[in-house]
A and B are shown apart, each in its own frame.
Chain A
Amino acid sequence: MSTGHETPSDLWRRNLPVWVALMALLALSAWAAYWPFGRIDTAVGFAVAGVKAALVALVFMQLRHASGLVRVVAACGLFWAAILFTLTLADVLSRMVNR
């Protein structure tokens, strides 16, 4: 919609680099799981998942070019999930510390 006359190769040129990055990130997280650093491995695994999710959401799901209204709705899902996680984990983690 942005440019008038795109060809199929333009579509692939825009989306293929994202796929290459996603595959590289997948390889990184599989490799990082075998590092002998315990919790850092876990953190790398979930950080990589977050980056992959951001790439898919921004480019494949076109949030990059979405209207403000659509972005607010997408952010709402994350916002309420963040409240759910924060309040629950505040309880779980404080019990673990006091044990």
Chain B
Amino acid sequence: MSSADVEARPREGHPDIEARLREPWSDLETDHATAFARQRAGATFGIWIFLASEVLFFGALFLTYTAARLANQEAFAAAGRETNIVYGTLNTAILLTSSLTMAVASQAAEKGLFRRLTLGCLAATAALGLAFLVVKGFEYREDIEKHLVPGAHFALAQAPAQIFFAFYWLVTVVHAIHLSIGIGLVTRLIAKGRRDPDFLKENPQVEVTALYWHLVDLVWVFLYPMLYLPGRSG
């Protein structure tokens, strides 16, 4: 038996931990529990760096909106009145609820005790994400029927209102793409968790997916006052 084979054997008899250890943590000169703890810490650290870069990506878009709104306040109020606040508020409630189920799924998986609860909450999260996209689809249909697409047949007289709706379409589509990726990642966890009873237990992939999901929710939390609340009192 070569030294590499000895190296690869479980040192502590944790076959399920060993199965979830990945390179480079599987090569660490420690016991598997310590290596797995470091893998978890590395995964959390890595996703937060990605989320910080997403904050800057959406921050730049939000700043563009802010500058355009400061320069065209009346037109942005008139344009904001045209969005459907019922769909917008409903979708905000749907996403906030999906963050609750995602948080419970992540914390339940972290404890490693409640597989059925984790799977149920992941399924609820994916379903709520799909519900958001369905509501958004109905909203898009209404927006198109009301000629709220910037261009030749735009509904509003003020030209800067087109800047508002250019931002509206760009940022809601970018958000919907992010959410679709999130639904895909959650569905992947459900599929793997159903096949392998030990997959979800303490798996850092659940926490990483959850943190991404929460960020997509937070982006919408800020889009809500930007897109749906301007000009309501006027």
Contacts and interface: CB of A to CB of B under 8 A. Distances in A.
B214 A61 contact: yes
A22 B113 CA distance: 28
A19 B97 contact: yes
Interface in B148-167: none
Contact of A8 (B108, B210, B229): B108
Interface residues of B, number: 50
Interface string A55-73: 0110111100011011001
B71 A96 contact: yes
Contacts of A77: 51-56, 59
A96 B232 contact: no
A49 B44 contact: no
Contacts of A81: 55-56, 59
A73 B48 contact: yes
A38 to B, nearest CB: 7
B211 A61 contact: yes
B135 interface: no
B108 A56 contact: no
- For chain A, which range describes its interface: under 10, 10 to 19, 20 to 34, or 35 or more residues? 35 or more
Contact of A42 (B55, B96, B104, B225): B225
Contact of B63 (A45, A46, A88): A88
Nearest to B102: A60
Given A18-B100, A73-B49, A56 B221 contact: yes
Contacts, number: 142
A57 B63 contact: no
Given A69-B45, A73-B45, A84 B56 contact: yes
Contact of A70 (B48, B59, B108): B48
B225 A56 contact: no
Contact of B111 (A6, A33, A53): A6
B233 A46 contact: no
A92 B104 contact: no
Given A11-B117, A70-B45, A53 B222 contact: yes
Interface string B87-99: 0010011001101
Top 5 A-B pairs ranked by shortest CB distance?
Answer: A77-B52, A45-B225, A77-B55, A81-B59, A60-B103
